[in-house]
Structure 1
Amino acid sequence: MLLAAALLAPLQALAGSEMDQRIIDLRDQIRLFPDQVLAQLLDLQSQTRAEPPRTQAELLVQISAARWQLNQLDAAAATAAQVIAYGRKLGDDVIIAKGMLANSAVATARDDFRAAHQMAIEAEPLALRAGDKSLLVEAELAASTVAKAQGNFPAALAKLQLAVDSARQVGDDPMQLFNATRMLIRFYCTTKDREKAFATLDELTAMTAKQSLPVQMVLLKLSEHTVSSAFDQPERGLRAELDNLALQRRLGASHMLGSTLNNLADSYLKRRDYAQAARYASEALQATKGRNDTDSDATARVNLGHAYLGLGRVAEGKKNFEAGLAWFERFHSKPAQQEVLLEYGQALEDAGDIAGAVAAYHRERALSNELFEAKRQQTVLELQAHYEADKKQRQIELLSNENAHRRQQQRVWWLLAAVFALAAVVVGLLYRKVRHANARLEEKNLELKAQSSLDPLTGLYNRRHFQNTMAALNPDHGRPACDGHGDDIVGAMFLLDADHFKQVNDTYGHAAGDAVLKMIAASLRVALRETDMIVRWGGEEFLAFIPALPRHHIDEVAQRILAAIASQTVRHHGHDISVRVSIGFAPFPLAPAGVPLSWERVVNLTDMALYLAKTTGRNRAFGVRGFDSVRLTSMEEVERDLERAWRSGQVDLNLVLADAPAG
């Protein structure tokens, strides 16, 4: 507690370089004591009015950083905007760049990566033009952070390496090299480069031993935990977190305790030591009480809920999980909500609450579909914008050519009437050019129409195209016919989902996940016919619509899909990744009691069959064959709980295993 008390001591007026150094010293303590440091920074404002503009701007930047650490994001953004306005008023590129980087940090905290990226790329050339090495390090680190969050790992690594090189040239600020090295460690963990991660951690350890700064000691332990957790050294990672907890308590760094206790709870959850996990999650809730640290509070409630579910205290577990999840749904990005819902579903499944697990998975699937649709719409809008820009450019070129033609006509009339024939030739050429431009525009229109029907990643049809196709389908389509051998010819729908796909993204990165989705799409093209419609339904989910096949071949198709995907591996950065899928399927049309169901209801039934495959072991398929006793109940009851209807004999389902004959 001595260091915290020292930070609260009364400040004397400092001037010139002493004031700059004081601001830097306080900057280095923001991670440990943001509330105390913010109070002192605000007190310094009255003492910096006679200081140079860049000193005043740096003070505002650190006030913004302290507010960001305290989750006062609106105030942090307003302070950053104040710095930008101040810099523009003075025409000072350094001050403008500092304000942009402060704003980029706030945007990143809000998961607004588009705004963060824009601010970072605008700040970097200003730093280069100013020749300020320290500012350049900050700009390159900000650009790297945003590139990594967007999944652009080559750009992130390039910026990080530039930042480290620039930081080595800044001799009077050791924290810049320290921070750049820490970010490099996190990058190597994300890309699973074990050798470089541990080598860089050794470099950071030597740096910390040499400088002996409390903030570096705390952050070093965080980095050690990150590396150990990423490369299967759980014991070392746990020791690092426990040492860090003791160090933070000794320093009085209460602001960081919630995050550290949550990390410990998460470590014990991975070990399935639910009692210890519940202990540290409860301590995290106590540590965040009375603070504006809703993120840590929500994470603690999710961890506590998970621990209680593991201990068999299902009602308490669900209550805490839902409380934490409510905050994530209100304030966090949708990918973060999706991750929490997947964890919730798995915890409920492990606790034996299958109905609750299916409900959580359905919530996750709805969110996944929403994200997928938003991404698709964004892609279409980008294509439309590109098309409009191209169209506008061609119109400008056409107008320019027309103006040139008019000027040529005037010259022709001024010179000789005989040259009028040459003008006619020019008009003919221009007419051909206009026709060519119109043809190109028509080609672009057709290309845009085709792209709006396809998923940009896999090249498969998208959900919108499938919905339009089904809406236009002849009502008599799919009505059972006979193949001449006494077997019905029907249609069929297959809905499949990649098993444990989140683990692929978490372990190997989203680029690996995209490669897996492309592999599944390619396997489906091989397993099915050209006349069959294959659709990227959303996220890691695919739908196949087969217009016509003998009824007794439906199970064989399900097994063929299981086998085709299981036989493939994806090679990604030296790792062989294999995946399996779970499938729900049904003939189409499906007509309980002689009343055909709409295609939407058939897809819903296949979705429920898919979840039944998920909850009974994965890497298998469940198919709806028919309805034995549907008159004893209603289709609404069947659709509400397919598994119960099956087990009570109201629905005829068939199980197809990946390694067993279909039938």
Structure 2
Amino acid sequence: MSRASVFTKAESPVPARARAMPACAGWLLSLSLLGLTACQPGVPEPDASNRAQQTSGKNTQTEQQDPIWDELERVEREGRSHPAASEHVLHEMQPRTAPGSLARVQLLALRGYLSTEMRDAALTASIIKDLEEWPNEANRRAANLALIYIRARQQRFSDGLRQAERTMAPLAGYTVQETGPLLLLRCHDFLSFVQSETGDVDAAIANATEALRLADAIGKPWRRAQTLSNLAFIYHQAQQLDLARQFSDKSLAEVDQDPSPALLYDIYTMRGIVLQTLGLMDGAQQAKQAALDAARQAGSDTLTSLALGNFADFHLNQGRYSQALKFADEALALALATQHIDYELLARHNRGIAKIGLRRVEEGKREVLAALARDEQRGADTIVANAWLELGMHLERAGDLSAAVEAFHQHRRKIDKVLRDETRKTLLEIQESYEDERRAKEIELLNRDNSLKTEQLRARDLQLRLWAALGGCIVLSAVLLGLAYQRIRKTNRALAHSNAALKMASERDPLTGLANRRHFQAAIKRLADKGMLSGTVFLIDIDHFKRINDQHGHAAGDTVLIEIARRLQATLRDEDLVVRWGGEEFLILVETREVSYASTLAQRLLDQIAAPTVRHGAQHIPVTASIGFASFPVAPHEVAVNWERAIDLVDTVMYLAKAHGRNKAYGIESMQASDEDGLQELAKGMEAAWQSGQVQLLTLNGPARFEESRL
């Protein structure tokens, strides 16, 4: 696994551990993000006097013209390379800054960054005390922001990522007039890093974009280069690879205007990650070597540790396990020496994967699981999900199939949780938008109604005064009422149309046009009796889909997904339900429970997916899939289960199909269990239960001419 300066994860032809992600995965932003932009949001205290805020806003621009700001910038740029020496320089510089000044805030913020980087609790406590005892109202808001930044960094390094995110939440309430652009820039950078590690990619992009706007306003090329590189990493995590490469190219062009070893390290590290994900291995290796050279030129053990960890990941992805283990051992020694928990976990993870590749499976598995447990304690859900996926794939390659199946199950549980959280957030945003629109329309209708009532009152007044005009007033009132009625009807029709379109869009996958999970959860109610599923479930996973993306490009991968979706729809009946379940997986639900029908349909699905090849431009791409299926309630004892348990069972046999060579369909014919707990016990050891006869499985093979050799 590799990381950008904050620990980014580079995906590779064989999925590697994504420390921080999404489709998904890796660690988000970079330590450079922390280093070059060490920021500090703080909880805003109760509103200070208006006079103090106005004074702070007027003096901010003038104060930043003091030469001491240039000295602070020089320390900031290289501080992460040599934190102890930089802290000494700042300590000696502090008496030259006026108490209560914005320069003092900036200096304390940088010292707080360095003290937390060095894990110096006593020094950090002293800096926090200085900020808590701020001497005057001028720049108090900026001091509060610096205070919270330092506290959030403490939480981040004590495995409290989500706590750090909550601490940073008040950032939106601060303005550049109160804090100056530098402090606000660092705060948005740091918050985007924390959000990327916890899996909130949308919020991370928003904060990184605001940081780029502030960097543009400041006008320093090195700050702009750093922020562009951070955005490249976040878009990489969001699987927007074209945008990631564009921002990486821009950051490389920008850094040439004002280079430094630490900054070059950050830029080349991020570039290596993006190029590796795109499958451009020569360019990725050159970028990673340039990053390692820059780290050594900077003389920083911290940066060198991370660069070595990234090189270890690169060799893992190339199958060079001995070299990967060598680099990981060097990285671990430096990480332990610098007491950097993130780099230590990265090195331990890569060591474990390398040992698995060298057939030291149990030893390697223990080391990976220990690192994974620490990440789970930190609340880095996306990192944990992708770590399980990488572990499963390497265990499968090493021949430990039962452990691989369990790792894939853990990956599915974790990624499903992340997807559920993201879906819930999206639905709440859609609902809020709908409610805002509805309230606006109600206000508009109320205003129209008030206008109508006013006209009626005027008509009545005219009736009393001018009897001669009575007839005309009645006609006028009728016309106004008719127009209002017609407009209300038109508005209601438009609102109904918008609601129907919103419902349709929320239940369809935008790429394939198939139903999505939300539609499935609504449809399952008609096939479930008291929550128990009745019917046959098929779970389909396209074989080696990541390799298709790596060899042919992501556009070709999208073409494959669209074509497979079309073939599935053509194979099924109108009443059957086909769902894009996530990534390269599809789920099919049919009401029929007959074993013969399920077996025939599974064979037909294998054949339809595999033949003919998928055409993308001039390329002809062979595609196969692994399928798991079962009918519910489960024979022979007719054990009823809910739909989540049913999908877990089908998922288990689908992974058996993958473990036994792919391009196969495995179906549950019967399970010797009389209740749901018995089913669960058999499912935990499905392979062994099958061999002992407690589980009867149907096994079907796809067309042999399209079968691919296993990775």
Please classify the TM superposition score into its range, dividing by the shorter chain length: 0.7 to 0.9
Residue 409 of structure 2: aligned partner? 362
Residue in 2 aligned with 1:109? 193
Name the CA distance, whole Å, in 2 between partners of 1:215 and 1:511.
35
Instruction: Output the CA distance in 2 between the equivalents of 1:291 and 1:246.
Output: 19
Distance 2:418 2:556 in 1: 19
- Residue 583 of structure 1: SS of its match in structure 2? strand
Report the AA paired with residue 542 of structure 1.
F
Map of 2:586 onto structure 1: 542
2:631 match:
587
Question: 1:69/1:145 Cα in 2 relative to 1: closer, same or farther (>3 Å)?
Answer: farther
Match of 1:181 among 238, 241, 253: 253
Equivalent AA in structure 2 for residue 253 of structure 1: S
Instruction: Flag the 1:333–1:642 CA change in 2: closer, same or farther, 3 A.
Output: same
The whole-number CA distance in structure 2 between the counterparts of 1:252 and 1:57 is 28
Do the aligned residues in 1 keep the contact of 2:543 with 2:623 (CA within 8 Å)? yes
Alignment of 1:557 with 2:601, yes or no, is yes
Distance 1:384 1:42, change over 3 A: farther
Counterpart residue number, 2:453: 406
Distance in 1, matches of 2:290 and 2:502, equals 58
Distance of 1:347 and 1:617 partners within structure 2: 15
* C-alpha distance in 2 between matches for 1:241 and 1:155: 20
Match of 1:28 among 45, 60, 77: 77
* Cα deviations by residue, 1:574-614 (Å, 9 ceiling, x for unpaired): 98766532101123443214x34436454433222101011
Match of 1:47 among 79, 86, 96: 96
Asked which structure has the greater RCO (Cα within 8 Å, sep 6+), the reply is 2
Match of 1:288 in 2: 335
Structure 1 residues 660 and 139, CA gap change in structure 2 (3 angstroms): closer
1:208-245 CA-partner distances (Å, limit 9, x unpaired): 9xx7x544665676478558756777678668756865
The question of 1:267 aligning with 2:298 is answered no
Query: How big is each residue's C-alpha offset from its partner over 1:312-331, in whole Å with a ceiling of 9 and x where there is no partner?
Result: 32222111001111122233
* TM-aligned CA distance change 1:443 to 1:299, over 3 Å: same
CA RMSD of aligned residues (A): 4.7
Aligned residue in 1 for 2:570: 526
CA contact (8 A) 1:80 1:100 kept: no
CA distance in 2, matches of 1:240, 1:278: 20
Aligned to 1:421: 475
- Cα offset for 1:497? 1.8
Inter-CA distance 582–36: structure 2 relative to 1 (3 Å threshold): farther
Rate the CA distance shift 1:391–1:575 in 2: closer, same or farther, 3 A. farther
Give the letter aligned to residue 71 of structure 2.
Answer: R
SS at structure 1 position matched to 2:591:
strand
SS at match of 1:548: coil
Mean Cα deviation higher: 353-362 or 639-648 = 639-648
- Closer, same or farther: CA 382–511 of 1 in aligned 2, 3 Å: farther
Measure the CA separation in 1 of the matches of 2:543 and 2:341: 32
Q: Which amino acid aligns with 2:329?
A: S
SS in structure 2 of the partner of residue 363 of structure 1: helix
SS of corresponding position for 1:537: strand
1:122-521 equivalent positions in 2, closer than 5 A? 122=210, 149-151=237-239, 179-181=251-253, 213-215=260-262, 218=265, 222=269, 229=276, 248-249=295-296, 252-331=299-378, 333-415=380-462, 416-417=469-470, 418-451=472-505, 453-455=507-509, 458-463=512-517, 465-473=519-527, 492-503=536-547, 516-521=560-565
Q: Which runs of 5+ in 1 are unaligned?
A: 1-14, 165-178, 184-203, 480-489
Q: How many residues align?
A: 591
- Give the letter for the 2:86 counterpart: V
TM-score (norm 2): 0.69
Letter in 2 for 1:582: S
Deviation at 1:555, TM superposition (A): 3.0
Q: Which one of the candidate residues 61, 86, 97 is aligned to 1:37? A: 86
- Corresponding position of 2:25: none
CA distance in 2, matches of 1:89, 1:339: 34
Name the counterpart of 2:60: none
Give the Cα separation in 1 of the matches to 2:524 and 2:173. Answer: 60
1:289 match: secondary structure: helix
Report the 3-state secondary structure (helix = DSSP H, G, I; strand = E; otherwise coil) of the residue aligned with 1:598. coil
CA distance in structure 1 between the aligned counterparts of 2:264 and 2:492, rounded to whole angstroms: 66
Partner of 1:621, secondary structure, is strand
Fraction of identical pairs, as percent: 31
Cα drift, residue 29 of structure 1: 1.1
Alpha-carbon distance between aligned partners in 1 of 2:201 and 2:546, rounded to the nearest angstrom: 22
- SS state of the match for residue 592, structure 1? coil
Decide whether the 8 Å contact of 2:189 with 2:211 is kept in 1: no
- Please name the residue that 1:659 is paired with: 703
Instruction: Identify the range of structure 1 (281-290 vs 229-238) with the bigger mean alpha-carbon deviation.
Output: 229-238
In structure 2, which of residues 621, 624, 641 is the aligned counterpart of residue 598 of structure 1? Answer: 641
CA deviation digits over 1:405-432, x for unaligned, max 9? 2332344345553323201221122123
Cα-to-partner distance string for 1:59-86 (whole Å, 9 max, x where unaligned): 567557657876999999942868999x
Q: Which moved more, 1:514-523 or 1:322-331?
A: 514-523
Aligned partner of 1:176 in structure 2 is: none
Judged with a 3 Å threshold, the aligned counterparts in structure 2 of structure 1 residues 247 and 152 are, in CA distance, closer, same or farther, namely closer
| DSSP 3-state at the match of 1:461 | coil
Q: Distance in 1 between matches of 2:281 and 2:243?
A: 31
Shift of 1:363: 0.2
| Secondary structure of 2:78's aligned partner | coil
Shift in alpha-carbon separation, 1:92–1:575, aligned structure 2, 3 A: farther
**SS across alignment from 2:475:** helix
Name the counterpart of 1:79: 146
Distance 1:330 1:552, change over 3 A: same
What code does the residue aligned with 2:474 have? Answer: F
Aligned AA for 1:433? R
The answer on whether the counterparts of 2:233 and 2:270 sit within 8 Å (CA) in structure 1 is no
Supply the AA of the counterpart residue of 1:41: L
Query: Secondary structure of the equivalent of 1:536?
Result: strand
What amino acid is the match of 2:489? R
CA distance in 2, matches of 1:231, 1:435: 53
